[in-house]
């Protein structure tokens, strides 16, 4: 089964085509094409992501990325007879393609590019399309969902929506088969190294800790694809706290990788004396909720007291802030594992790209003698591979295709 995944929930535009093959005791996933365009450089200038700007960038990039992805997957068959000049696209060719009016009205440029593509290539051999319909920035989600619906309609390929957070959870199931990837690379140079994956077998009940720019959640997974949120943040998400603290320190967006770099630099110095001490919010509360805004405010007040903020001070603050975050994450996760007889700890979300957080959670799983599943760094931050995978597993499990869904910024698991 070949499935096309589309991701536009925040500031990464992702398009990916995978082929899944299920055997008696294994599932093999081959990544046929995987394209990701990061808008970070654009948003960096403004210190954060503006939803309408993100939407415009997705609209500009979706068609070129889809085309590249189809090329990479060797799924392009040109329709020479029907080729049209894009400047000639008129109302009648629009009607004949019967593409959703939404794109026509709200994204005319995307519409023109899409029509150009649709009129120049044959329907590709893809069995399903899946698209992130939430959670995320609503305008950004909207453009991906509308685009996916248009493709589904024009090519008559069934469509299913995918929850972005489920994508982050399932990304941890990808187990690269490295010895086979070299074979693929020799024939298709553009494929990423881990192009073929098996899926990890998960022992249930499992617990997922999801930490991203928009979410901090503990999710109980009693069985395959069965999710229940048992803990969450009352204010800022972990990634958001990283980004805000980075801004206070004058570091560029996205702040997570910057804080991480500064914290590493301080650790390497091995300074025995600690100047700053930040709170570990809610670490002793008897629930599974988080709060990071107090920690962020504490950093702010500390900075106000310092007349000159040197690079060393930035490093030490980043280090202590990160330690506070890690202490809280580890403590709450430990409680959730203990209370729910968890067999597997899964972690996901962009913040999981942080190597100290990865290490601390891996140590926790070892201590508690449970399995640990974590995505590779490349599939930790937003990407379309995890969306295609989630779509594939849901279809395998019997989820029915539908076009009756909308982009929903607050979509829950
Ligand atoms: O999952 P993601 O790519 O997008 C959302 O769905 O939010 O996560 C992005 C978040 C940002 O807040 C970014 O600063 C954070 O992940 N992040 C990191 C690191 N790399 C990305 N945070 C800490 N350390 C990192 N190395
Ligand atoms: Zn994400």
Q: What are the pLDDT digits (tens) for 17-37? A: 999 999 888 999 999 999 999
Least confident of 37-51, 159-173, 323-337, 398-412: 37-51
Whole-number pLDDT of residue 25: 84
Residue 65 has pLDDT above 90, yes or no: yes
Residue 255 CA: nearest ligand 1 atom is 14
If we measure between CA atoms, which residue out of 413, 387, 333 comes closest to residue 170?
A: 387
Mutation test residue for ligand 1: of 9, 136, 252, 256, the one with most atoms within 8 Å of CB: 256
What is the chain's mean pLDDT, rounded?
Answer: 91
Ligand 1 pocket, residue 349 CB under 6 Å = yes
- Does residue 161 have its Cβ closer than 6 Å to ligand 1? no
CA distance 63 to 230: 39
CB-ligand 1 contact for 375 (6 Å cutoff): no
What local confidence, expressed as pLDDT, does residue 391 receive?
98
11 lines ligand 1 (CB under 6 A): no
Kindly report, residue by residue over 259-299, the tens digit of the pLDDT. 999 999 999 999 998 999 999 999 999 899 999 999 999 99
Structure tokens that stand for 43 in this block: 């948003």
Ligand 1 centre distance from Cα of residue 259 (Å): 11
Ligand 1 contacts CB of residue 110 (under 6 A): no
Per residue in 125-151, pLDDT (tens digit) is: 999 999 999 999 999 999 999 999 999
**Predicted pLDDT of residue 17:** 97
CA of 135 to the centre of ligand 2 (A): 9
Whether ligand 1 lies within 6 angstroms of the CB of 124 is answered as no
Identify the band that residue 44 occupies on the pLDDT scale cut at 50, 70 and 90: confident
Task: For the sheet with 344-348, list strands across it.
Answer: 226-232, 216-223, 206-211, 344-348, 371-373
pLDDT for the residue numbered 293? 94
Q: How many angstroms is it from 81 CA to the middle of ligand 1?
A: 46
The 3-state secondary structure of the chain reads CEEEEEECCCCEEEEEEEEEEECCCCEEEEEEEEEEEECHHHHHCCCCCCHHHHHHHHHHHHHHHHHHHHHHCCCCCECHHHCCCHHHCCHHHHHHHCCCHHHHHHCHHHHHHHHHHHHHECCCCCCEEEEEEECCCHHHHHHHHHHHHHHHHHHCCCEEEEEHHHHHHHHHHEEECHHHHHHHHHHCCCCCCCCEEEECCCCCCEEEEEECCCCEEEEEEEECCEEEEEEEECCCCHHHHHHHHHHHCCCCCCHHHHHHHHHHHHHHHCCCCCCCCCCCCCCCCCCCCECCHHHHHHHHHHHHCCCCCCHHHHHHHHHHHHHHHHHHHHHHHHHHHHHCCCCEEEEECHHHHCHHHHHHHHHHHHHCCCEEECCCHHHCCCCCHHHHHHHHHHHHCCCCCCCCCCCCCCCCC
Give percent of the chain above pLDDT 90: 79
**CA angle at 305 for the pair 302 and 307, rounded to the nearest 5°:** 125
Characterize 98-133 residue by residue with b for buried, 16 or more Cβ atoms within 10 angstroms of its Cβ, and e for exposed.
ebbebbbeebeebbbbbbbbbbbbeebebebbbbbb
Q: How many A from CA of 382 to the centre of ligand 2?
A: 5
What was the pLDDT predicted at 103? 72
Mean pLDDT on 394-410: 97
Cα of 213 from ligand 2 centre, angstroms: 7
Between the CA of 217 and the centroid of ligand 2 the distance, in Å, is 12
Burial 384-402, CB ≥16 within 10 A → b, else e: bbbbbbbbbbbbeeebeee
Q: Is 382 in the pocket of ligand 1 (CB under 6 A)?
A: yes
Lowest mean pLDDT among 47-61, 290-304, 351-365: 47-61
């Amino acid at each position: 089964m070949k499935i096309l995944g589309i991701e536009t929930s925040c500031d990464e535009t992702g398009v990916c085509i995978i082929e899944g093959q299920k055997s008696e005791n294994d599932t093999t996933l081959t990544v046929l094409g995987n394209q990701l365009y990061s808008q970070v450089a654009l948003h960096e200038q403004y210190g954060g992501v503006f939803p309408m700007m993100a939407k415009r960038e997705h609209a500009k990039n979706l068609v070129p990325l889809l085309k590249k992805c189809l090329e990479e997957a060797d799924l392009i068959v040109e329709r020479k007879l029907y080729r049209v000049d894009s400047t000639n696209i008129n109302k009648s060719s629009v009607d004949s393609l019967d593409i959703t009016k939404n794109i026509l009205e709200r994204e005319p440029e995307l519409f023109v590019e899409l029509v150009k593509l649709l009129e120049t290539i044959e329907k590709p051999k893809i069995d399903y399309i899946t698209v992130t319909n939430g959670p995320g920035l609503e305008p950004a989600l909207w453009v991906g969902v509308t685009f996916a619906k248009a493709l589904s309609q024009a090519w008559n390929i069934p469509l299913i929506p995918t929850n972005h957070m489920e994508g982050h959870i399932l990304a941890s199931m990808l187990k690269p088969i490295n010895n086979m990837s070299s074979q693929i690379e020799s024939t298709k140079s553009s494929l990423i190294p881990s192009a073929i994956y098996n899926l990890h077998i998960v022992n249930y009940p499992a617990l997922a800790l999801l930490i991203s720019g928009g979410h901090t959640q503990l999710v109980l997974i009693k069985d395959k694809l069965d999710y229940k949120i048992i803990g969450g943040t009352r204010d800022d998400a972990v990634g958001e706290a990283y980004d805000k603290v980075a801004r206070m320190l004058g570091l560029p967006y996205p702040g997570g990788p910057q804080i991480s770099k500064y914290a590493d630099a301080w650790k390497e110095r091995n300074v025995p004396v600690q100047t700053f001490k930040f709170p570990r919010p809610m670490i002793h509360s008897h629930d599974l909720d988080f709060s990071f805004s107090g920690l962020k405010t504490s950093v702010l007040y500390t900075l106000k007291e310092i007349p000159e903020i040197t690079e060393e001070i930035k490093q030490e603050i980043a280090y202590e802030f990160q330690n506070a975050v890690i202490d809280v994450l580890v403590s709450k996760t430990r409680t959730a594992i203990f209370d729910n007889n968890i067999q597997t700890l899964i972690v996901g979300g962009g913040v999981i790209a942080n190597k100290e957080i990865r290490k601390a959670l891996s140590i926790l799983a070892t201590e508690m003698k449970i399995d640990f599943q974590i995505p590779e760094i490349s599939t930790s931050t937003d990407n379309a591979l995890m969306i295609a995978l989630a779509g594939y597993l849901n279809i395998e499990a019997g989820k029915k295709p539908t076009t009756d869904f909308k982009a929903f910024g607050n979509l829950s698991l």
